[in-house]
Amino acid sequence: MSTAPGIAIGDRLARAPRTTLETYRDDGPLARLLGATVGRRVPVPPLPLALIGLAGLLAVIAAEGDGASNGTLAAVIAWFVVWAGISSGRPHTDRSAWALPGAVRVGEYASLIWIGSTVGESASAGAFALIAVLAFRHYDLVYRGRFQGKPPAAWLDVVLGGWDGRLILVTLLLAADALPAALFVLAAVLAVVLVTESVASWARHSAAPVSIYEDEEDEGD
């Protein structure tokens, strides 16, 4: 039982996502920790777990709107992070697993829009800017795999904090009264990191082109 659980968890955090869907989720260290500790003991497919988190989040957003207090906001986001985080530890192999990255994405983006509108003023523009940068990250996860044959660097998962880490960071910034400015700063910093890493990877990659399949009738226009 107690034979170095720390090492087991460490292994799980260190390992790159095993499947394409796990890569698309963009989990950070916290979500992976929740998945590795709690998630693997819950004998339920991952989608219902993530949907419990998402349904609670969306219900409160609909009920409270932009009048929500910071306390409510923090509690509901924590609720979503816990459930969706736990779902990351379940194998994404059943037939419904394709909905998971989307569910995680909606939770992250909707939370940011919500936070922006409770702050008001230019915070909604700030939320748009941050979501636009995150959208680049999330398309990059797909397109790099498709056209380079491998996902973006693994250290980005830690540096960017994953959807979980970013949600907690923005909630803390909200509590510290740093919004809306912090949203723009965060968007700018992330944009620089993401674009630099992508450009660097293509500079390395162009030396060794490989054939990667793109079967016709591909999706995504």
Partner 1 sequence: MATELQSPPQRRPPVQLSGNVTTAVLVATAAADDGGPAAALPWDGGTLLERLLQQVGQLGLEGIHVVTRPQFEEALRPVAERGGAIVHVCAGPSEDLAAIADMAEGATGGFVVALADAVVDLGALEGLLASPGIATGVLGTGIGGGGTFGMRGRLARGRLVSASSAYHSVSAPRMSFLGVLKVAAADTPTFAEAAAELRDLLDDGLPEGWSKELEHKTEQWRMALGRAVLKAERRAARDDLEAAGRARDELPPMEPEEFARRKRELARSLPPADEAELALRRAAAEQDVVSLLLVGLVRRGVHMGNSGIRGFFYSRPLSRAATAEAAESMAEHDEEKVRLKSAVKGADGFFTTFFVSTWSRYVARWAARIGLSPNQVTVFALCVGIAAGTAFATGERAGYIAGAVLLYLSFVFDCVDGQLARYTRRYSKFGAYLDSVFDRAKEYVAFAGLAIGASTSEVWVLAAAMLTLQTLRHSFDFSYGATDRQAIAETPQPPVAQAPDDALGRARMKSRDTLEPNLGLLDRAASAAELREAAEDDESDSKETERAVPRSLPRRILASWRVLDRIPGLIWLKKMAAFPIGERFAVTCVTAALFTPRTTFTVLLAWGAFALLYTSTGRTLRTLAKWRSLPR
181-186-188 Cα angle (round to 5): 100
Cis peptide leading into residue 180 (ω within 30°)? yes
Cβ proximity of 82 and 75 under 8 Å: no
The residue within the footprint of partner 1, chosen from 58, 75, 78, 110 (CB under 8 A), is 110
Q: Which residues contact 101 (CB under 8 A, 6 or more apart)?
A: 21, 24, 25, 26
Q: Which two tokens stand for residue 99?
A: 């909905």
Position 112 contacts partner 1 (CB under 8 A): yes
Position 97 contacts partner 1 (CB under 8 A): yes
State in angstroms the smallest separation of the CB of 212 from partner 1: 7
Interface map 38-77 toward partner 1 (x if CB under 8 A): ----------------------------------------
Question: Of the listed pieces 3-11, 103-111, 170-178, 185-193, which binds partner 1 according to CB under 8 A?
Answer: 103-111
Query: Of 33 and 35, which has the nearer Cβ to partner 1?
Result: 35
Binding footprint of partner 1, residue count (CB under 8 A): 55
Q: Which two tokens stand for residue 58?
A: 């969306």
Q: Which residues contact 109 (CB under 8 A, 6 or more apart)?
A: 131, 134
Cβ proximity of 104 and 50 under 8 Å: yes
Q: Which helix (H) or strand (E) holds 190?
A: helix 181-205
Query: Of 124 and 171, which has the nearer Cβ to partner 1?
Result: 124
Query: Of 118 and 171, which has the nearer Cβ to partner 1?
Result: 118
State in angstroms the smallest separation of the CB of 214 from partner 1: 4
Question: Of the listed pieces 10-18, 164-172, 185-193, 199-207, which binds partner 1 according to CB under 8 A?
Answer: 199-207
Distances (CA, A) of 159 to 48, 116, 166, 193: 29, 23, 10, 9
State in angstroms the smallest separation of the CB of 78 from partner 1: 21
Identify residues 129-158 at the interface with partner 1 (CB under 8 A).
131-132, 135-136, 138-140, 142-144, 147-148
State the angle between helix axes of 123-148 and 181-205 in degrees (0 to 180), rounded to the nearest 10: 10
Residues within the interface to partner 1 (CB under 8 A): 19-21, 24, 95-102, 105-106, 109-110, 112-113, 116-117, 120-125, 127-128, 131-132, 135-136, 138-140, 142-144, 147-148, 202, 205-206, 209, 211-221
